[in-house]
Amino acid sequence: MGSSEHSEEANWVLHTPRLPGLWREFTEASGEEISPKDTLPAPGSTKHFKKSSTASSAIDEERLDIDLDLEKNSSLVERTQWVLNGPEPPGLWHELMDSLRETISCCRKKYSSLKNQPTLKSAVSVQQEIFPILVWGRSYNMSKFKHDLMAGLTIASLCIPQSIGYATLAKLDPQYGLYTSVVPPLIYAVMGTSREIAIGPVAVVSLLLPSMIQKLQDPEADPIAYTKLVLTATFFTGIFQAAFGLFRLGFLVDFLSHAAIVGFVAGAAIIIGLQQLKGLLGITHFPTNTDVISVIEAVWTSFHHPGKKKKKLFWLPAVAPLLSVILSTLIVYLTRGDKHGINIVKHVKDGLNPSSVNLLQFNSPYVGAVAKVGLIVALVALAEAIAVGRSFSTMKGYHIDGNKEMMAMGFMNVVGSCTSCYVATGSFSRTAVNFSAGCETPVSNVVMAFTVIISLQLLTKLLYYTPTAILASIILSALSGLINLSEVYKIWKVDKLDFLACIGAFFGVLFASMEIGLLVAVIISFTKIILISIGPGTETLGKLPRTDMFCDTAQYPMAVKIPGIMIIRVKSALFCFANANFVRERIVRWITAKKGEDTKEAIQLVILDMSNLINIDTSGIATLEELQKNLISEGIECAESADVMMDSYIERTTIEDWIKLIPIYL
């Protein structure tokens, strides 16, 4: 019989999820954690005093017992007063000032430590903080360089054709994509903390920029003015990214939740793929809008001029794009395909990155709108880069500094905007290739950048006959990893509201625009937070047989409710004006329904388990007082678990003692 009971209890644990809460946590703690004072003999016990045979000693012993009891009671009263008449908690202004003082104190300690060091050593410490390459560079050797060299050459073979394709996707001249693969990777190599991330233009940002800027300036009508706005937006992107890192505002990136990013990237991947139909099918009149309806309409109307779709040649993951560019360019050159209707890249400007400081438009009437574009692009680019960096750093077991990453991204985009680069960030596809190729440090980015420099100096004339269709197919080949159906399914299984944010971002990008998709995702995420705050979960608790565990009776059907007592847990850390009435009405509804049932045992006591609560406002306090008055008018006593918890902490009682002691503290 005993063994069957034990197996039954084991099944509850193994096959039913255990919910955390005050009841279980306290009982587990009370069974395991015994303070040293609990091992001492209890005051007034027979072990505490020596026995005396004389009457005077017995009287003295009795007096001592009385004194100890009085001392114990006064101590209990004193500790009760600490709870009832506790000091006011610190306010918001106090917390902000504490945070500011902590930041200043941290900076002051760093400054003091540097001040006490020799000048040269202090300068080196500051430089190491800004440029991590000075730290890991001391242990760099030829073995690591061999791995970085092979990885850099590998990602360069993928980067060159992709950069040209992404520049055309951003509605810029092809050389701007190559420029963006030179300066930003070099800066990141000395300032970044990720070893694997590959820096350069990416598909999502390359589509996001024109989707917003072409509303201000048509790239077909005035490409020079459009390019100036793109470079200005890149400058603002870098400023915002650097500010996020400098003022530790990286939490702003978290507004784009994981689910929102998954849906946004998937929708953007489809839009990017549809955009490449212009190059694949040779469509001359293509819409400036990025929504799927406009693109499909343009494709439908161009069916009387069909083009041949290129077969994929990507059986080699990294070399195939470059190989396909070389072969297709050679075929077009030998057959003079450009004379027979094949669209080609034509002129690609050679030479190193020219200065573009004079192209930045800070006195333009669109400067406010361009700054808004920069903010949106900064958030998206950071979210993608940090997600990529953290994924691969976890695989290799090291940590990347988020604030340093933001500073590095911001500085490289600010400098990039002054050297004819548009927004650069970490690339999913190239980082995966870099990781697989065995890179050891960010030197692989340096190798890639110098390879692109050689291409700009020597190979741009060879790209004249490169067909735009092959560039479109290269971009399409890079999109397969952006649509993650398994991750979407996981989001659906874990959280339906997260799934709604994911789908909202996806359809927002697909049928409206990139910024609308982001806005929809952020709104849904904030709505989720508001709904959770307004309608917190509540549950009735029951006691598992032959245990001291109290659990949700809906989740644990075997849990037994105590006759005459209803125990309700509020699963919210915040009890305020937004959710207080909701909780009160639900409790009253439960009690009314319980009274309406044909039960022999009426509810005499309601216990509110508020152990999850960390913040309550005046509305929450007023609601609890109102609830207590309503229950008392119905002949029902009410108590919060905070009173019981305090007594249990002092006296180390069991859960059964809690229920017995509750009326004492009403």
Q: Classify the C-alpha dihedral 136-141-143-147 as positive or negative.
A: positive
Residue 570 pairs in a beta bridge with 538
Q: In whole angstroms, how far apart are CA 457 and each of 77, 349, 351, 365, 520?
A: 85, 9, 5, 37, 45
Question: Is residue 52 in some structural domain?
Answer: no
Residue type, 569: R
CATH code of the domain in which 648 resides: 3.30.750.24
Cα gap 337→326, rounded to integer Å = 15
Question: Is residue 74 in some structural domain?
Answer: no
DSSP H or E stretch at residue 606: strand 605-609
Q: For residues 337 and 398, state if they share a domain.
A: yes
Q: For residues 492 and 471, state if they share a domain.
A: yes
pLDDT digits (tens, 9 = 90+) for 249-292: 766 666 667 777 788 778 777 877 776 666 666 666 666 565 67
Mean pLDDT of 624-639: 86
Q: Which of residues 481, 500, 529 is at a domain's end?
A: 529
Q: For residues 360 and 500, state if they share a domain.
A: yes
Q: For residues 198 and 277, state if they share a domain.
A: yes
Report whether 549 contacts 588 (CB < 8 A): no
pLDDT digits (tens, 9 = 90+) for 300-331: 766 544 444 443 333 345 567 778 888 888 99
Cα gap 402→249, rounded to integer Å = 10
Question: Is residue 306 in some structural domain?
Answer: no
Question: Is residue 277 in some structural domain?
Answer: yes
Report whether 274 contacts 295 (CB < 8 A): yes
Q: For residues 631 and 543, state if they share a domain.
A: yes
Report whether 586 contacts 570 (CB < 8 A): no
Q: What is the pLDDT of residue 115?
A: 66
Q: For residues 387 and 346, state if they share a domain.
A: yes
Per-residue pLDDT band at 644 (split at 50, 70, 90): very low
Q: Which of residues 496, 529, 562 is at a domain's end?
A: 529
Q: For residues 343 and 370, state if they share a domain.
A: yes
Q: In whole angstroms, how far apart are CA 23 and each of 586, 637, 666?
A: 22, 20, 20
Q: For residues 567 and 605, state if they share a domain.
A: yes
Question: Is residue 149 in some structural domain?
Answer: no
User: Among candidates 386, 361, 356, 387, which has minimal Cα distance to 374?
Assistant: 361
Whether the pLDDT of residue 662 is over 50: the answer is no
Q: For residues 184 and 213, state if they share a domain.
A: yes
Helix (H, G, I), strand (E, B) or coil at 616: strand
pLDDT digits (tens, 9 = 90+) for 484-528: 888 889 989 988 888 988 898 889 888 877 778 878 888 888 888
> Could you list the residue range(s) of the whole structural domain that residue 445 is in?
155-286+314-529
Q: For residues 522 and 643, state if they share a domain.
A: no
Question: Is residue 457 in some structural domain?
Answer: yes
Q: How many CB atoms sit inside 10 A of residue 137's CB?
A: 14
Question: Is residue 503 in some structural domain?
Answer: yes
DSSP states of 506-563 as a string?
HHHHHHT-HHHHHHHHHHHHHHHHHHHHHS-EEEEEEEPTTSS-EEETTT-TTPBPPT
Token pair 């905070």 is at which residue? 642
Q: What is the pLDDT of residue 188?
A: 95
Q: For residues 470 and 565, state if they share a domain.
A: no
Whether the pLDDT of residue 20 is over 60: the answer is no
Helix (H, G, I), strand (E, B) or coil at 653: coil
pLDDT digits (tens, 9 = 90+) for 200-223: 999 889 988 998 999 899 998 999
Question: Is residue 180 in some structural domain?
Answer: yes
Q: Which of residues 529, 546, 570 is at a domain's end?
A: 529
Q: For residues 578 and 514, state if they share a domain.
A: no
Overall pTM surpassing 0.75 (yes/no): no
Q: Give how many domains the chain has, as a whole number.
A: 2
Cα gap 141→309, rounded to integer Å = 47
